[in-house]
Amino acid sequence: MTYNEAIEWMDSRHWSGTGKGIVRSQELLERLGNPQDNLKFVHVAGTNGKGSVCACLSKILTAAGYQVGLFVSPHLKRFNDRIYFNGTEIGDEDFARLASCIRAQAEVMEDAPTVFEIMTAMGMLYFAEKQCDLVMLEVGMGGRLDSTNVIRRPEAAVITSIGLDHTKELGDTLEKIAGEKGGIIKTGGTVIVDGSNTAVMPVFEKICQETGALLVTSAPEQIRNVVLSPAGEVFDYKDLKELHLSLTGVYQMNNAAVVIETLRVLEQKGYRIGEAALRKGLSEVYWPGRFERLHEQPTFLVDGSHNPDGIRALLESLRSYFPDKKIRFLLGILSTKDVSTMLQLIEPLAEEIGVIMPPSEKAMDNERMARQISRECAVRTTAFDSIEEGVRSMIENAEKEDVICATGSLYSIEEIRTCANREFHQNCGGCERL
């Protein structure tokens, strides 16, 4: 297949299966020679923060001289940006070649694999070909039954912050969701858990007791001397002083603490990383769509928060960076999310809300959502027919001191970024671009 033919084939596949993704992945990878068995992993699960933690670890370990694979989801622009080697996404030629190899096996399977399962297999093949020293492997959803959980015991399992999301699939309580996330903990392994997960820590303690795994927790209470700026945060963590993190958003410091504890576990296993690589990686890491500041005067932010806990973290950052400031939100949410809770959280900080539809079949209709906001919130609301119209209107009607925050779904991020950059470039000659 050519690259375009490979993309057409991928687009024709099922996006969701019967809940047996790990079984299908095991069969597909066995047909492909089990490339994952020749790799070492840091396996990352959690409700929020998985991508940021993987990006930080990848950047730091690359700076330390390792050959590093990175597997994340969903993609923001195209399929390729789910798979990286040393910070560079998989090329079109390799993508097409590996897709052809996988197609030959996938199409003879009685239970056909989904797109995510195919991408998981492609990542494993690619990383094995590149002879990666370590692969940062982000779970798609949950953990226990996720297709990424086909791997043997990883060098480290990591669990970021836990919240209520995907409740239909994972359970309707934090404890049930934590149990699913904890399914990546293997017998005799080591797991690093975000220390802010105090309510569900007994779940992870029980799993570790049952599996003989070592439990390590980060210590968010030891994040001190924080200085916020548009270029990121400077903070102390335990014995490390004046760390500079280029990812903005106060919640990113919690993610950085998890990263640091993970690196210490890896060093205990013999990996040579060092403080210089840690500082370099944290100061240079880039991860789009996470409290990403696209422009100044007016300030335009895009953030992929898509569940109540993510929105809480976003609002904490907005209040910290812009105290006593009302925010103009551009909001698009999937119908499967807890929309009412998200609106309740946003309302006190909202000057106005513009409504858009994320590019997903699960997107909540913009007019329907605008009516729900009008019923539940005392905030001026406008429904826009397209993301482009919403971005243009918010920018054209903004004053220089305004703050615009586009949020609600990861699926909207790339189009919002593209439209915002175009609008500022064409129409805001006096604006300050970052």
pLDDT at 336 over 90: no
Q: Express each pLDDT in 373-413 by its tens digit.
A: 999 999 999 999 999 999 999 999 999 999 999 999 988 98
Q: Where in 5-122 does DSSP place strands (E)?
A: 41-45, 68-71, 83-85, 88-89
- What angle, rounded to 10 degrees, do the helices at 308-321 and 251-268 form? 110
For residue 409 the two structure tokens come to 């779904």
Helices (H), 215-292: 251-268, 274-284
Q: Express each pLDDT in 255-314 by its tens digit.
A: 999 999 999 999 999 999 999 999 999 999 998 888 999 999 999 999 989 889 889 999
Amino acid identity, residue 114?
T
pLDDT of residue 20: 65
Q: Specify whether the CB–CB gap between 123 and 82 falls below 8 A.
A: yes
CA distance 301 to 331: 12
Which one, of 149, 135, 155, 166, lies nearest residue 25 by Cα? 149
pLDDT of residue 19: 60
Band the pLDDT of 351: cuts 50, 70, 90. very high
Q: Is 26 helix (H, G, I), strand (E, B) or coil?
A: helix
Strand order in the sheet with 292-296: 380-383, 350-355, 327-331, 403-407, 299-302, 292-296, 432-433
CA distance 152 to 216: 20
Q: Express each pLDDT in 97-107 by its tens digit.
A: 999 999 999 99
CA distance 337 to 351: 23
Element (H, E) at 327: strand 327-331
Mean pLDDT of the chain: 92
Q: What is the residue whose two structure tokens read 């690093």?
A: 192
Q: Specify whether the CB–CB gap between 356 and 386 falls below 8 A.
A: yes
Other Cβ atoms within 10 Å of 123 Cβ, number: 27
Q: Specify whether the CB–CB gap between 416 and 321 falls below 8 A.
A: no
pLDDT of residue 168: 62
Over residues 62-71, the mean pLDDT reads: 98
Domains, the chain, in order of start with CATH, read 3-284 (3.40.1190.10), 292-433 (3.90.190.20)
Give me the percent of the chain exceeding a pLDDT of 90. Answer: 80
pLDDT of residue 430: 42
pLDDT of residue 136: 98
